[in-house]
């Protein structure tokens, strides 16, 4: 079995003002062009209304995207060439450039999407039996998912773990949709949405993401059958 990280994502939740207008794009380009980013207006579906909304996206090559929305900022690295510590460092560095580091957030999240490849039938069965002991033996498609609240020092987190085996799994990377062969696992850990205090900023964001990264590192349920 080989383990390959296919996506890192950091999400910062709050109230932001980055309208998809020329003035905003020029301001962002002045700051981020020296870092290798190019701004563009991206059409994304609004999950609340179902309508298409215009958002500003900052892209660096084919694999790094920063998406700015009124309620969240997402940093995504697809098929990353750095480890989780390098990704966190990159995300924090970019946040420090937004609004001169004066943004505040009430919730942060970190996602690690992984693909387990070249698995033998015995390894696949061992994982299925561990995660879904009452499912059918030798099932060709299955999904396990659960969310667990975890309290760590002064923060409470929602820890989401997920594993999927299904034919036809696809992911967009290297500029096109590509099939995924293996078991896709997901670690999605976020501070609880019940705490709405804007307690995160550019200065303490690294510590917040590092704490979540440690939770993910300690969770071996999905990556070791």
Q: Compute the average pLDDT of residues 26-37.
A: 93
Confidence of residue 225 (pLDDT cuts 50, 70, 90): very low
Q: How far apart are CA 41 and CA 25, in angstroms?
A: 9
Helix axes 22-32, 84-97, angle to 10 degrees: 130
Q: What pLDDT score was predicted for residue 93?
A: 94
Q: How far apart are CA 225 and CA 212, in angstroms?
A: 22
Q: How far apart are CA 16 and CA 200, in angstroms?
A: 14
Q: What pLDDT score was predicted for residue 192?
A: 94
Per mean pLDDT, which range of 28-37, 171-180, 200-209 is the poorest?
171-180
Q: What percent of the chain has pLDDT over 70?
A: 95
Confidence of residue 174 (pLDDT cuts 50, 70, 90): low
Q: What pLDDT score was predicted for residue 180?
A: 80
Task: Assess whether pLDDT exceeds 50 at residue 221.
Answer: yes
Contacts of 43 (CB under 8 A, 6+ apart): 52, 53, 54, 55
Task: Assess whether pLDDT exceeds 60 at residue 222.
Answer: no
Task: Assess whether pLDDT exceeds 50 at residue 208.
Answer: yes
* pLDDT one-digit tens code per residue, 103-140: 999 999 999 999 999 889 899 888 888 888 777 777 88
Q: How far apart are CA 203 and CA 7, in angstroms?
A: 25
Task: Assess whether pLDDT exceeds 60 at residue 64.
Answer: yes
DSSP-derived secondary structure for 152-196: ETTEEEEEEEEEEE-TT-EEEETTEEEE--SEEEEEEEEE-TT--
Q: Compute the average pLDDT of residues 65-86.
A: 94
Euclidean distance between the first and the last CA atom of the chain, given in angstroms as a whole number: 11
Task: Assess whether pLDDT exceeds 50 at residue 213.
Answer: yes
């Amino acid at each position: 079995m080989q383990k390959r990280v296919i996506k890192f994502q950091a999400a910062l939740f709050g109230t932001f003002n980055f309208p998809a207008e020329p003035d905003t794009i020029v301001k962002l380009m002045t700051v981020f062009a020296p870092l290798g980013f190019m701004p563009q207006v991206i059409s994304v579906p609004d999950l609340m209304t179902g309508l298409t909304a215009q958002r500003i996206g900052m892209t660096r090559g084919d694999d790094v995207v920063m998406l700015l929305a009124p309620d969240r900022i997402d940093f995504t690295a697809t098929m990353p060439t750095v480890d989780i510590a390098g990704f966190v460092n990159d995300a924090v560095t970019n946040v420090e450039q937004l609004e001169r580091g004066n943004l505040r957030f009430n919730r942060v999240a970190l996602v690690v999407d992984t693909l387990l490849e070249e698995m033998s039938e015995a390894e696949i069965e061992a994982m299925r039996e561990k995660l879904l002991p009452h499912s059918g033996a030798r099932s060709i498609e299955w999904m396990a998912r659960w969310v667990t609240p975890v309290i760590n020092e002064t923060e409470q987190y929602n820890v989401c773990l997920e594993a999927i085996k299904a034919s036809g799994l696809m992911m967009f990377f290297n500029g096109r949709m590509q099939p995924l062969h293996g078991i896709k696992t997901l670690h999605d850990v976020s501070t609880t949405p019940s705490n709405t205090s804007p307690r995160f900023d550019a200065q303490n964001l690294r510590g917040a993401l590092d704490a979540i990264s440690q939770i993910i590192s300690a969770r071996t349920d999905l990556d070791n059958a």
